[in-house]
Structure 1
Amino acid sequence: MPTVLNILGCRVVIYPNDHRPAHIHVIGNGCEAVFRLNCPHGPPDLRENHGFTRSALSKILAQLAKNLTVLCTQWKAIHEHY
């Protein structure tokens, strides 16, 4: 599972054998959340959360939005299609 970004002490991961639509897993601090990227224009949104606080999710979403182009490019490099 390639880590494509590190934000707020968490790994942002794209699984090579995962399904569409384009999404990422944020893993860290004993928590995991999945965000749809809504490539290529976003905005990313939360699909599921396992343990992150609302405050942490807001901060993660802000960082994902800032890095959307990079994340969509990484998804496309791994999976070819959004």
Structure 2
Amino acid sequence: MVIVYREYGLSVAIFLNDHEPPHVHVFGDRHAKIGLAGADGRPYLISHYKMKRNDVRRAIAIVNEHQIFLLAKWRDFHG
């Protein structure tokens, strides 16, 4: 796991031995998994584990704002 971005007490990580579709894991008080590009091209929530609703919204906003950077990082690690 590599932390690629931090903001608002949340850490955005990419697992090195992970699978498609491109996604990130966001850790705060708990964990959320966010897809980097859905059918409409925007990030989307895949799942979360007891993460506060406000933190989930903040995590999605962070991924949306940094989507191009995060997709580039995903491709750096996964080809």
Whether TM exceeds 0.5 here: the answer is yes
1:7 CA displacement: 2.1
Unaligned runs of 5+ in 1: none
* Alignment correspondent of 1:24: 24
* Alignment correspondent of 1:72: 71
Distance 2:41 2:4 in 1: 17
| 1:13 and 2:49 are equivalent in the alignment | no
* Alignment correspondent of 1:4: 4
What TM-score do you get using the length of structure 1 for normalisation? 0.86
* Alignment correspondent of 1:54: 53
1:28 CA displacement: 2.0
Which residue type is aligned with residue 37 of structure 2?
N
Contact 1:7 1:60 in 2 (8 A): no
* Alignment correspondent of 1:34: 33
1:26 CA displacement: 0.5
* Alignment correspondent of 1:45: 44
What TM-score do you get using the length of structure 2 for normalisation? 0.89
Identity %: 29
Contact 1:10 1:28 in 2 (8 A): yes
Unaligned runs of 5+ in 2: none
Contact 1:23 1:37 in 2 (8 A): yes
- CA RMSD for the aligned pairs? 1.5
Contact 2:14 2:25 in 1 (8 A): yes
1:52 CA displacement: 1.3
Which residue type is aligned with residue 7 of structure 1?
E
Flag as ranges the 4+ runs of structure 1 deviating above 4 A: none
